[in-house]
Amino acid sequence: MVKRNNNRLPSNLPQLQNLVKRDPLSYKDEFLQQYRHFQSTLEVFRLKPDQFNKNLDELVMFLAQVSHCYPVLLETYPQQLMDILESHHTVLDSNMRMSFCRALILLRNKGLLKPTALLSLFFSLLRCQDKSLRKFLKNHIVSDIFNTNVKHKDARLNAALQNFMFGMLKDSNAKAAKMSVDIMIELYKKNTWNDAKSVNVIATALFSKVTKVVVAALKFFLGSDPTEKNSDESDSDEEEVTAKEIMKANKVNKKSRKRGKQLKKAKQVLSNKKKKNSAPAFNFSALHLIHDPQGLAERLFQQLEKKNERFEVKLMTLDIISRLIGLHQLFLFNYYPYIQRFMQPHQREVTRILQFAAQSAHELVPPDIIEPVLKTLVNNFVTERNSSDVIAVGLNAMREICIRCPLAMPAYLLQDLVMYRNYRERSVAMAARSLVSLFRIANPDLLKKRDRGRPTEASLELKVKQYGEIDAKDYIPGAEVLLEEGADGGGGGDDGSDDSEWEDVSHSSDEEVEGEGKSDEEGVESSEEGEEGESDEEGESSGTDEEEDVDEKSEAKKKKEEGGGGGKGKTNSKGEDSKDKVEEAAAISVSRILSDEDFKRIEVARLKKEMTVARKGKKRSRSSVETEDAKTLPNNRAELVSLGDIENIFKKKRHDKEARLETVRKGQEDRMKFGFQDRRQNPFSSKTNREKKKNKNFMMVKHKVFKKQKRSFRDKQASLRNHLLKQCRMK
């Protein structure tokens, strides 16, 4: 019979580990015995470091687990492990190397090892040809630096590690450089190393000799890095793997309602995973922190011309350069002729290239630099030999470029493009009309009189900026509306913003439509005369005779020449009126703090000006109002051109089966059920004979059905003859 020996100390290391943690003093001798055994085993291992030693593996983990119990005795233990890794990390067995790293991480978590020394060692271990080890070290480095900077950022530690990382990016080992970039990007996403120094260190990776490092840096600045999985969330990782498998299987398997529901749920799981792991990202936050954007753009463009990279890498580089040019308003004139070479309808990813051309345009680029880009679009896209979709895409690209640089469009070219608004294809017509709508706001002088649309009060006050002109204001435009509302009790004022000025454009008279065909000077002069006439007639009784109107107009002109005012708080001079409005807006901007309600009133007044038709004889205010929206203003333009704005063609999209069924169900919601409707108020009342006949046997109603059939002329004659014979017999 075998005797049980539950206490095998000190050979049973797990049991000894448990006892040492409970009572370190009582089991100190057993611990010293194991420590001496470790020293001797380590000396033997140094002779053959490429072989796996199971005994040493167990002793290393045992000492790391109980190191906090004997910190004085194990003072040199961490350095011993680090020395082995530094001297033999290239020849060590992979399992032994992983055991040493795990033991060092345990010592770091127990506070027995400084983070600088350990992280420097781990950075050097990234050169090892061990993929699992590199992934393990990357996760630890990211989590350790993140946990160190949770409560407060350690500036000295971060500076030392960033300097070391900068050296790692220039390392000859491609895998080590790639892993260093990934670590810095991961820390940036976690808002740990999100300062300007980190961003500029990552920017140096754009000029690495390793293509993978360059691509990683390009994806970082483009904001398209895939969300990686965290090692500590096993449940969510399993759900993510299952969701990906479902999505892959759905591409091959037969479509069904059940699989559709599973696919929808899988997409929801993946979206929740990304939202949970991703840090709050701000659009172009990394590009904003570049120290020398002009130099960076020039170096990237020079590298693009010299190197022969893959087309995908070229696209990402062009995207970065275009964003830098548009965001920082840089001057890189060689970029535009280079990108014109790719502006062909048959070019791969041509819509993205058009997007880059639009992103690189801004108001400080000379118009003669952008004009060849527009001519290239016209020659290659907006021609009759191309399809309607190609023409529409070309017009959309020209619109996006002109939003950012409206002065680049010549008048003769715009007149030709306006002709496409009556094109036979709706997609082309709508794209041309959007271009016309843009220039009605940006530069209406380039359009013909009939294409400018109905003038509004805001459009007449529009001032087209010339090249290099800055329209900076030290007041809130339109703030004078608050003074007028306060004086009039929130209604109208002298600026003509009362409700009587609103009119329906669709019911305009023929005279007003004919007035649009006149020249600008005639229209403005006539409107000025009408304004002066009405401003003097406000305090007098209105007459219908033409002679009285002429007299009043002549009197108004005399007063204007003499410099007299037409009434209290009003000026007859346009310049003086505009100056007074600006002074009122500046006074109210300085004297009080505007609330949200005040800004809403200003916005309502601005929208009224844009919608109110400029009519003759109406007094118009001359306040400086911003008429462009945020997208068309060069100063407030969107930093990124949406690819959908260029690819957007006005066509009826094809619907899949689910979309068609959804529209059918929506149409059936309020509709009554098909078939017979029982409209009896009392369900227990009797039915009509017509309703009862529906449930009868056909043989019971057969004779009635045949009676209703149409008889031939011969049958009618026979029936009439028999009827007459029957009448004769009765007589």
The reply to whether 423 and 406 lie within a common domain is yes
Same domain, 170 and 306: no
Question: Any bridge partners for residue 710, and if so which?
Answer: none
pLDDT over threshold 50, residue 572: no
- Rounded-to-integer distance, Cα 69 and Cα 35, Å: 13
Q: Are residues 597 and 489 in the same domain?
A: yes
For residues 26 and 31, what is the distance between their CA atoms, to the nearest angstrom?
10
Q: Kindly report the backbone phi and psi dihedral angles of residue 82, in degrees, each rounded to the nearest multiple of 5, phi listed first.
A: -65, -35
61 and 32 housed in the same domain: yes
CATH number of the domain at 311, please: 1.25.10.10
Q: Is 721 within 8 Å of 729 (Cβ atoms)?
A: no
Which residue type is seen at 231?
S
| Residue 638, domain member (yes or no) | no
Do residue 157 and residue 202 come from a single domain?
yes
CA 89/CA 567 separation, integer angstroms:
93
Q: Are 361 and 405 in contact (CB under 8 A)?
A: yes
Q: Which residues pair with 456 in a beta bridge?
A: 613
On whether both 274 and 343 belong to a single domain, the answer is no
Residue with tokens 């740990």: 192
pLDDT at residue 89, as a whole number = 80
Closest CA to 351 of 641, 654, 634: 641
- Of 586, 558, 587, residue with least CA distance to 572: 558
- Structural domain for 145, as ranges: 13-209+217-222
pLDDT in tens, 311-329: 999 999 999 999 999 999 9
How much is the average pLDDT of 352-357? 94
pLDDT in tens, 666-675: 888 877 777 7
Task: Indicate which CATH number applies to the domain containing 57.
Answer: 1.25.10
Q: Are residues 185 and 314 in the same domain?
A: no
How many independent structural domains does the chain possess? 5
Tell me the three state secondary structure of residue 647.
helix
> Within 10 Å of residue 449's Cβ, how many Cβ atoms?
12
When mean pLDDT is compared across 202-211, 457-466, 622-631, the lowest value belongs to 622-631
Query: What integer is the mean pLDDT of 91-110?
Result: 89
> Which band of pLDDT confidence, cut at 50, 70 and 90, is reported for residue 504?
very low
Rounded CA-CA distance 261/355 in Å is 36
What is the C-alpha to C-alpha distance for residues 109 and 93, in angstroms, rounded to an integer? 25
Domain-embedded: residue 106: yes
The reply to whether 416 and 482 lie within a common domain is no
Q: What is the 3-state secondary structure (H, E, C) of 136-157?
A: HHHHHHHHHHHHHCCCCCCHHH
User: Does residue 452 sit in the same domain as residue 353?
Assistant: yes
155: pLDDT strictly greater than 50: yes
Number of CB atoms found within 10 A of residue 138's CB: 19
Q: Average pLDDT of 685-696?
A: 83
Its pTM surpasses 0.95:
no
In a domain, 511, yes or no: no
How far is the C-alpha of 176 from the C-alpha of 89, rounded, in Å? Answer: 14
Is residue 155, in this structure, part of any structural domain at all?
yes
- Looking at the fold, whether 347 and 480 belong to one and the same domain comes out as no
Lookup: tokens for 58? 């167990």
Q: Could you tell me the pLDDT band of residue 279, with boundaries at 50, 70 and 90?
A: very low
Whether 417 and 433 map to the same domain: the answer is: yes
Same domain? For 142 and 99 the reply is yes
Which pLDDT does position 246 carry in this prediction? 67
Looking at residue 334, its pLDDT comes to 93
- The answer to whether 98 and 79 are in contact (CB under 8 A) is no
Residue 8 lies in a domain: no
Residue 717 structure tokens:
């004659």
